Amino acid sequence: MKIQFLVLFITLLFVKPGHTQVCPIIPLPETAIAKPGYFIISKHTPVLINDPSLRRHAAFLQNEVLKTKGVALAFQDQANAPAIKLVLSGKNSSSEAYKLSIEPSEIKIISSGEKGIFYGINSLIQLIRQLPGSEPFAISGWEITDKPALAWRGIMLDESRHFFGKETVKEMLDWMAFYKLNKFHWHLTDAPGWRLEIKKYPKLTLVGGIGNHTDSLAPAKYYTQEDIKEIVAYAAERYITVIPEIDMPGHARSANMAYPEYSGGGTAKYPEFTFNPGKEKTYSYLTDILREVNVLFPSGMIHLGGDEVSFGSKNWERDSGVKQLMQKNDLKNLKEVEDYFVRRMADTVFQMNNKVLLWDEAATGDLPSDKTIIFWWRHDRPEQLKMALDKGYSVVLCPRVPFYFDFIQDTTQRVGRIWKGAIADLRKVYDYMPEQESVIGKRGDQILGVQANLWTENLSTVPHLQYMLFPRIGAFAESAWSAPGKKDYTGFLERLKPQLELYKQDKIYYYNPFNPAVTPEPLPPGKITINR
């Protein structure tokens, strides 16, 4: 032990007092000033807190250091060594800002809110994880002040097309926390499979959970309500809100396999695609489902989808119930029927004291602007974004290019999407700023933030999912968190290099932007259909 300290101090004698000005944290903090000297982290270093609410924060830090560096930091009551201090300076539950100072005598994370403390801890964990050698570690001096540029920093995962399961989701939540992302949008229902247990309608999972995008006969895969509670709690420990998406009135095939009496039919290409808006019992059925969803997800938000309904609503024209509905409510066309349906189900969501979240097709509807969040995804349709803003809705920006992570990131890739030649390479993800959408104008305060969406038609294995997410998740985090004026792609790449080592340590199969051949595209088993 003593010899290890001696070696460390001799090493430090040869290191210049100042050190590199590059602060190796992603996303880039607001300010980071290198300070002279080092703090020595050893198993004698205690984590001290000034408020009992920070106990779990201290435990999180201790767990991460143990997991990644194999060092169990000291208990609080052994406080006789220079300490890591977590200091809550207020009770501002919305504050995400923090200050992290590393000096030879102490490490201090200070924030007026618990979230800020958590983000400060994650910056510290990033620095600790990159320290070479073994305990005791010397961590360079820094004075960091930080806060996010955008409030909504989301990732969406589609588990209807392919189901990945709890461990993969938890790993994703771990990395989201590491990169200070805070919203997990969970696409749990769609045509290939229904993945959420609903007690009142067990066939939704037992029948609707059968199959996936590549194998219509795959055994049923879904999350039980206990699984959901576990994931929601795991996310909450990381200040990540989980938002469920129950897609309607389109993308409903899996539900219709289980309960055909509520089906509104579909087309040859999109069979049994819709719920039936012309039957009163459809609304009570879906309300029952949403009541359970509301209990399971305490986020105060439910995403109702509302996308691409026109792909399969043609059949409604022939449905006598829909015809009657149109007559009674003076609905002129199928789009108005769709808006009527969305409005009714949104009202159900409002009655549960939730906000309703919808894809940008629903911007045509007439919903209360203070309770509605529109997700703008059709990057080729800026008019949809404009319409949402004109109506006063809050908006999350997730334009396909560059935020659909099922798009390829390199033209040599064989599996993944492209839009008229456009791909979602790392640089585009990094450079994205809401300001570049000209229709936003002076309405920036309606933009809640950004989201990256992992659709999984083409992604059936965990390595492939990881390959599409890493390292774009880092570039995305910087687009979401860091001040646009401070972003610098070259600096980002410098900071990214050591993070690739962390991916390797954690057995993440990542895309290597410096040398793509090192980690070749993990092609899925079987026949490859290129969906372009």
Give the closest residue to 335 by CA, choosing from 360, 313, 357, 302: 313
Residue with Cβ nearer ligand ACM (45 or 189): 189
Amino acid found at 335: K
Give the closest residue to 470 by CA, choosing from 522, 426, 515: 426
Task: Select from 376, 377, 405, 432 the one that contacts ligand ACM (CB under 6 A).
Answer: 377
In whole angstroms, how large is the CA radius of gyration of the chain?
Answer: 25
- Binding-residue total with ligand ACM (CB under 6 A): 4
Dist CA 247 CA 73 (whole Å) = 46
For the beta carbon of residue 136, count every other beta carbon within 10 angstroms: 19
- The CB-nearest residue to ligand ACM is 307
Q: Are 201 and 258 in contact (CB under 8 A)?
A: yes
Residue with Cβ nearer ligand ACM (201 or 359): 359
Binding to ligand ACM, residues 308-367 (CB under 6 A): 308, 359
Q: Are 455 and 404 in contact (CB under 8 A)?
A: yes
Binding mask 125-164 for ligand ACM (x = CB under 6 A): ----------------------------------------
Provide, rounded to whole angstroms, the least separation between the CB of residue 405 and ligand ACM.
12
Dist CA 101 CA 148 (whole Å) = 18
Binding mask 275-314 for ligand ACM (x = CB under 6 A): --------------------------------xx------
For the beta carbon of residue 388, count every other beta carbon within 10 angstroms: 26
Residue with Cβ nearer ligand ACM (114 or 190): 190
Cα–Cα distances in angstroms (integers) from residue 281 to residues 28, 285, 291, 434, in the given order: 52, 6, 15, 42
DSSP assignment of 471-494: THHHHHHHHHHS-GGG--HHHHHH
- Please report whether residue 118 would count as binding ligand ACM according to CB under 6 A: no
Residue with Cβ nearer ligand ACM (227 or 308): 308
Dist CA 96 CA 48 (whole Å) = 20
Provide, rounded to whole angstroms, the least separation between the CB of residue 451 and ligand ACM.
11
Provide, rounded to whole angstroms, the least separation between the CB of residue 450 and ligand ACM.
15
* DSSP 8-state secondary structure symbol assigned to residue 262: G
* Beta-bridge partner residues of 86: 49, 109
Residue with Cβ nearer ligand ACM (308 or 488): 308
Give the closest residue to 402 by CA, choosing from 507, 475, 316, 510: 475
Give the closest residue to 47 by CA, choosing from 134, 106, 7, 135: 106
For the beta carbon of residue 528, count every other beta carbon within 10 angstroms: 11
Amino acid found at 257: M
Binding to ligand ACM, residues 414-433 (CB under 6 A): none
* DSSP 8-state secondary structure symbol assigned to residue 186: E
Strands 274-275 and 263-265: antiparallel
Residue with Cβ nearer ligand ACM (178 or 377): 377
Provide, rounded to whole angstroms, the least separation between the CB of residue 308 and ligand ACM.
5
Provide, rounded to whole angstroms, the least separation between the CB of residue 311 and ligand ACM.
9
Residue with Cβ nearer ligand ACM (135 or 338): 338
Provide, rounded to whole angstroms, the least separation between the CB of residue 185 and ligand ACM.
11
Dist CA 217 CA 193 (whole Å) = 11
Active site residues: 190, 251, 308
Provide, rounded to whole angstroms, the least separation between the CB of residue 191 and ligand ACM.
11
Residue ranges that bind ligand ACM, judged by CB under 6 A: 307-308, 359, 377
